[in-house]
Amino acid sequence: MAALNETPRQKMMGILYLVLLGLAATTVTDHVLDAFHNLTVSMETSSKNVQSTVDATFKSFEATNLKNDAVRAAPVHKIALELSDTMNHLNQYIIDLRHTLEKAGGDTVLGGDVKDRADVDVSPRLMIKQGRAADLKKRIDAVRAFIFKTLTPAEQQGMKMSLSAENPPRKFGIGTKWEEQNFGEGIPLTAAITALTKIQADLKNTQNEVVRKVLERAGKVDIVMDKFRAVAIPKSTYVLSGQQYQADVFLTASSSTSNPEISVGGAQLKVADGKGVYTVAASGSGERKWTGIIRVKKNDGSIDEYKTEEQSYTVAPPSATVSPTKLNVFYIGVDNPVSVSAPGIGMDKVHVSISSGSIAPTSTPGNYTVKVAALGEVTVTVTGEYEKGKSTTLGTSKFRVKRIPPPHLKFGGKGGGKMSAAAMKQQNKVFAVIEDFEFDAPFNIQHMTMYITKPRAEAQVYESTSGSFTPAMVAGINGLTPGSKVYFDLVTGVGVDGVKRQLDPIIFNVE
């Protein structure tokens, strides 16, 4: 038995139905119920269109092949009628099931939906417990078997048929019956009606395909538009919280006997089933725009040309952000670097502000420099323009504002302890160092006092107005002998934050 593929239209209908069925399994809102009803109406329209195609196919065949070559066409016509009648009987059975459900749901009201459309007890009771779903499955399987029995292997090859009552694939080792999936516990009444309508739509598409295949045995049947597809085109697939999701949903038609020419930017696209796929490698970043041109050859050989509306998309570099929430700190007096990313929105449409202080972009997109002056807390706010003239807040982050850590006094690279006299004589200044601090934050020493004590001698006191030694200090250091002590105390200065600090003293034992 040949594997039968689905048309793009059938796949789209199936996807929309499964999405709504998944939503119904979690929450039954008026929006979800309205979506089921709208899908039902769309599929009813599609079924009517397909039925018109089936009728036109028979009419065309009867007016040409059957009239001109009755001997060869009559047997084919009879087989096609038998197949069509079999599927029409199944369609009538589905119509009767729908009437039963609608009557149990209080019949239809204004708007075309059933009165008790949210009822989740009607479908399981009438369809599952009373066996109607199981009987429907048997009838569908019987129709499929009759189709496969009637079609030749060559006709089955490449045949597109979505009419099926197979159980869905097992998930995590758990299986679900087809009956339960479509009509079982938790299924709202309107969803059950949508399921029946979908089966009718699948049945009509199958009927159209099967009739055409059989009648082709007597020669080609000229059908202009024989493929229909439900299309949903969202305005954007990335929607921020608080915005509205919007999509255009409509029915398209194409011919299986003629494909249009489709091009973008002068490059021809590969076209199948009346549809071309535009693919381009994304590079760089920012907004990209394009327009497609479709050329259709008419029966008289002339060409009609159509142009799509201008389309756009945004290219953004891949990124991920890891934020240590307890280390969100800005320091006074230094340039605090921050990076900002807004997936789905180009950086040229992103604005960053701060509640206190200043924030300015650097030469690298997405990177900013923050300067703060007062202790406390500040908030960084990121807004983005998602449509021309329309902006929304994408996020806010709070940062604590702190002073830079106090520096530590260093002499010869050490903060005190033992040092040889020879090593000390090679030094001529002290330094203020902020250890393990990632920012460039120099500290300007404005005063220091140095004490030198030698065994059995009075202390020598020296002062300087910077971190550098005065000539007298250099002379004192050069006169050190083992056993002496050197003290650096009363060291004060100012850092980049403008705060005057006194540093802790350090003591050295001369060896």
For residue range 206-264, list pLDDT tens digits in order. Answer: 999 999 889 888 764 443 566 777 777 766 665 666 666 677 786 777 766 567 888 98
Tens of pLDDT along 306-359?
888 888 777 766 655 555 555 789 999 899 999 888 776 777 888 899 999 999
pLDDT band at 143 (very low <50, low <70, confident <90, very high): very high
Please state the rounded mean pLDDT for residues 193-203. Answer: 90
Residue 92 neighbours by CB under 8 Å, 6+ apart: none
Average pLDDT along the chain:
83
pLDDT band at 430 (very low <50, low <70, confident <90, very high): very high
Four-residue CA torsion sign, 220, 221, 223, 226: negative
202 alpha-carbon distance from chain centroid: 30
Q: Which of 462, 459, 457 is nearest to 475 (CA)?
A: 462
CB count within 10 Å of CB 246 equals 10
Helix 189-215 with 132-150: angle, nearest 10 deg: 10
- Tokens 């250099």 belong to which residue? 474
Q: Indicate the helix (H) or strand (E) that contains 205.
A: helix 189-215
Residue 376 neighbours by CB under 8 Å, 6+ apart: 356, 400, 401
Q: Which residue has the higher pLDDT, 283 or 376?
A: 376
What single DSSP character describes residue 469?
P
- Tokens 């997936």 belong to which residue? 343
Task: Give the β-pairing of 390-402 and 329-331.
Answer: parallel
Asked whether the whole model's pTM tops 0.75, one would answer no
Domain 325-402: assigned CATH number:
2.60.40.10
